[in-house]
Amino acid sequence: MNSTNQARVFAAEEDYFQPPKRENSPNQNSVDGEKHTLTEAIDDFKLRGKVEGRADKTLQQYDYVLGRFSEKFSGDRNPNSLGAKDIREHLAYLMDDGLANTSVAIHYRVLRAFFNWLVSEDYISESPVNKINEPKTPDKFPKTLGQDEVEKLLNTARNWRRTWAGYRNFTMLVTFLDTGLRLKEFLHAKLENLDLEQRSIKVEGKGTKDRRVYFGKNNYRCLRHWLKMRQEIENIIDETIFISQNGDKLKRRHVQHIISRIQKEAGLEDVQVSPHVLRHTAATLAVQNGLDAFSLKRQFGWEQMETALKYVHMSNKALQESYRSSSPMDNLT
């Protein structure tokens, strides 16, 4: 796996790398680090994460990062014997192995969570990672679509509205762009959690955290009409908002195929278009239309305010570029 793919695979919210919560008080089930190996400590850490409901993607990150860490140091080694120098050498080894700083930073965060958890569970008295700064990464902005590209997608999907599937696909695109839902949230959004009167949907976000997501009048009109068309299917076997023509839940690959088809018909083959890009685009457009960072954070379900502020900064950059070509004084004749 190359460094670019690893950066993509491991791109996740900061809260994914927080250590699992303790199940017991310090006096219960305490662990003496002198009697446990690194392998045992890693297995216990992953087990706690699984029991506490960490996402599959997070558990896979634990497997990969801690697996490489245990390869570097013998699994029979005592966690107490690992110091800051060992951690630095491991991170340097990853860099020498071709990993980008973005990927190495993910390794750092997982190790930080792991060693902080070892402290909380009395495996060790102090985390060696706390003495090391996180590797610096380039300040990259998420990929988004421009307004012209968004309009091309919408116009293409709009032309297909006369069929059952065509109207569903158009409504799906509008919903992605208006709400900024994650693909998983979109796929699992249920009818019972859709409130047309309040123009909102309750979804289960990352970490099984529920939140209410709001949508506008145009999305409301699309959804209202879609629900009438949805009833045309005789044997509906799933209660999600968007279903297939067989009446069952849409699959991830089905949604991705639909968006790719719209993208191709819109003549945007050279532009990256995916549910995640649509989510980034929705956030950018929301800020450009006046949504504040605090409301943006709540709507999109981010743990860190810094994530929302990134979109505010992106909007400011767009304004700066736009104003350079539309300055009143610069355009006086």
For all residues of the chain together, what is the average pLDDT? Answer: 83
Residue 321, pLDDT score: 54
Q: What is the largest CA-CA distance in the chain?
A: 82
229 or 55, greater pLDDT: 229
CB 239 within 8 A of CB 245: no
pLDDT band for position 31 (cuts 50, 70, 90): very low
Alpha-carbon torsion 47, 50, 54, 57, what sign? Answer: positive
pLDDT tens readout for residues 168-213: 999 999 999 999 999 999 999 999 999 999 999 999 877 667 899 9
Share of the chain above pLDDT 70, in %: 81
Compute the average pLDDT of residues 106-120: 92
pLDDT band for position 74 (cuts 50, 70, 90): confident
Ordered by where they begin, the domains of the chain are 3-131 (1.10.150.130), 147-316 (1.10.443.10)
Residue 139, pLDDT score: 63
DSSP 37-59: -HHHHHHHHHHHHHHTT--HHHH
Residue 117, pLDDT score: 92
For the sheet with 200-204, list strands across it. Answer: 194-195, 200-204, 210-214
pLDDT band for position 280 (cuts 50, 70, 90): very high
Alpha-carbon torsion 71, 74, 77, 80, what sign? Answer: negative
Q: Is residue 12's pLDDT more than 70?
A: no
Residue 79, pLDDT score: 87
Compute the average pLDDT of residues 275-298: 90
Compute the average pLDDT of residues 6-26: 44
11 or 65, greater pLDDT: 65
pLDDT band for position 330 (cuts 50, 70, 90): low
200 or 323, greater pLDDT: 200
Q: What are phi and psi of 123, to 5 degrees?
A: -70, -45
Residue 203, pLDDT score: 93
